[in-house]
Chain A
Amino acid sequence: DGGITQSPKYLFRKEGQNVTLSCEQNLNHDAMYWYRQDPGQGLRLIYYSQIVNDFQKGDIAEGYSVSREKKESFPLTVTSAQKNPTAFYLCASSRWGLNTGELFFGEGSRLTVL
């Protein structure tokens, strides 16, 4: 079945460590996104990518980095510079074009910093 796969589902990290969250899609979508979800704050856009080898900062990009070497993959690295990394991270994808609106989401990765 087509969809978005995020891994790991749960991740624990010590302070000062970088961690990378994986996101893979087999929907043949051009655009991919990373959102962060915190209780009571909804979803906030971290980074997005419209095509391979190109990505743009979202509203809260500080302390995060991404790459887009393949159309199917859009990994997110949470660096030690991110001051409050404990959160639920959601990856999404969509077709590129006039705003069709529908984002397809993965089941998320929950990161806890110990």
Chain B
Amino acid sequence: QQPVQSPQAVILREGEDAVINCSSSKALYSVHWYRQKHGEAPVFLMILLKGGEQKGHEKISASFNEKKQQSSLYLTASQLSYSGTYFCGTEMNPGSARQLTFGSGTQLTVLP
């Protein structure tokens, strides 16, 4: 079951904040966040495991709400380099197979 990402696209000015959401109708074990620039490989940002853990990476942080089966990615004081498409990949079962199901992506554009 593909997770649902929102919004589909967002345009910001440098220095502004953004939130990207990733929701699943199924119970999640983990959520993986990636950023992809056009024509390039997805780059790993962070993993969140169930338990409401919050993680940070520079000025990018994320949370995982187990009750809602939702993860949110927070981008603070956006920089031009943050532009790209953000994907969440969700995993439902722990253990032997790391099958990630990716959302359709959120296109983030940061303008000067």
Do A and B actually bind?
no
The residues of A with any CB-CB pair to B shorter than 8 Å are none
